[in-house]
Amino acid sequence: MSSNPPQQPVGSSGAAGYPQKPRNGLGTAALIVGILAILGIIIVFGGVILGIIAIILGFIGRGRAKKGQATNGGMATAGIVLGVIAIVASVALGFFVGNVLQDEIENLQDCLDEADNATEQEECREDFGEDIEQEVEEETDN
C-alpha–C-alpha distance, residues 56 and 116, integer Å: 54
Side chain identity at 31, as an amino acid letter? L
pLDDT digit string, tens, across residues 63-120 = 999 999 999 999 999 999 999 999 999 999 888 888 878 888 888 889 889 989 999 8
Question: Is it the case that residue 10 has pLDDT exceeding 80?
Answer: no
From 108, 114, 98, 97, select the one nearest 131 (Cα to Cα): 108
**DSSP letter assigned to residue 30:** H
The pLDDT value recorded for residue 54 is 96
pTM for the full model?
A: 0.65
pLDDT digit string, tens, across residues 23-63 = 889 899 999 999 999 998 888 788 999 999 999 999 999 99
From 115, 121, 31, 128, select the one nearest 80 (Cα to Cα): 31
Neighbour tally for 55: CB within 10 Å: 22
Q: Answer for the pair 37, 82: CB distance below 8 angstroms, yes or no.
A: yes
C-alpha–C-alpha distance, residues 80 and 67, integer Å: 18
